[in-house]
């Protein structure tokens, strides 16, 4: 089970993910992320993964698919502060470079100034 807390900024939404994202709830995870990614006037969706519990390859598949779809619509998925086990999962799947990833809020704000507003 997971929860998402949204913070809306100019053309950016930051989602704070808490909990587990596994095969059993990957479809729900995908649906929720798509709602935010394709909301009007959004150019980037930032997902804070610092409080993520368990995550499996099904959840990674959702992130990859969403990023690919988003890029096709001029939108980008950005990862923020992946928990150590999530960073390891990204590395093992050899997709850590597929997403812009930031290790702190400050790095993110330097890259996306609107995230501070």
- Give the CATH number for residue 31: 3.30.750.24
pLDDT of 82 higher than 70? yes
- Give the confidence band of 117 by pLDDT, cuts at 50, 70, 90: low
Instruction: Kindly give, in sequence order, each residue whose CB lies less than 8 Å from that of residue 113, ignoring residues fewer than 6 positions away.
Output: none
Each residue of 10-43: pLDDT tens digit?
899 999 999 999 999 999 999 999 999 999 999 9
The count of structural domains within the chain is 1
Element (H, E) at 44: strand 44-55
C-beta separation of 98 from 67 below 8 A? yes
Q: Which domain holds residue 58?
A: 2-116
Burial letters 84-105, b for 16+ CB under 10 A, else e:
eebbebbeeeeeeebbbbbeeb
Chain-wide mean pLDDT for the chain?
94
């Amino acid at each position: 089970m997971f929860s998402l807390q949204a913070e809306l900024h100019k053309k950016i939404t930051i989602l704070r993910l808490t909990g587990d994202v596994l095969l059993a709830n990957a479809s729900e995870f995908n649906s929720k992320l798509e709602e935010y990614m394709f909301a009007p006037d959004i150019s980037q969706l930032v997902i804070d993964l610092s409080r993520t519990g368990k995550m499996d390859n099904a959840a990674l598949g959702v992130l990859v698919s969403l990023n690919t779809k988003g890029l096709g619509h001029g939108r980008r998925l950005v990862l923020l502060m992946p928990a150590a086990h999530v960073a390891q999962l990204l590395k093992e799947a050899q997709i850590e470079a597929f997403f812009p990833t930031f290790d702190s809020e400050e790095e993110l704000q330097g890259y996306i100034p609107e995230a501070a507003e």
